[in-house]
Amino acid sequence: VFLNCRITGDAPEHSFYLGRPWRPYARTVFIHCFLDKLIKPEGWHNWNKPEAEQTAFYAEFENDGPGAETGKRVGWARQLTAEEAAGYTVEHILRGWKPAVE
C-alpha cells in the first residue's frame, strides 16, 4: 500500500508501471499519492500472464499529478470507493503492529 506518497523521478515520460504481478494474488494499492509523468497511462501490466488479471488486485484512490489520469488504465485494475479506501489505514495494514519511529 502506497499512502500519501510521491512517485517522481527524472525518467522519460510514460516509462514505468505502477505494478506488475510477480506471483499470483499480487496486491498493490495507491491512495492519495502524487504520480508524476513517468507513470504509463495504462498504469498496470499483467507481465504477459493473462491469468494474473483474474488474481491480482491493483487499485487506486484519489491520486493526483500527470500520471494519475485513470481514463486509459487497464480494465482489470480498480478505482476504490471512499468506503473501500477508508479500510487502508496504517493500523489496519499493520494489524496492530506499532514499530518504534524516531
pLDDT digits (tens, 9 = 90+) for 19-64: 999 888 999 999 999 999 999 999 999 999 999 999 999 999 999 9
- Three-class secondary structure assignment of the chain: CEECCEECCCCCCCCECCECCCCCCCEEEEECCEECCCECCCCECCCCCCCHHHHCEEEEECCECCCCCCCCCCCCCEECCHHHHHCCCHHHHHCCCCCCCC
Question: What is this structure's pTM?
Answer: 0.89
Note down the domain range covering 92: 1-102
Question: Structural domain tally of the chain?
Answer: 1
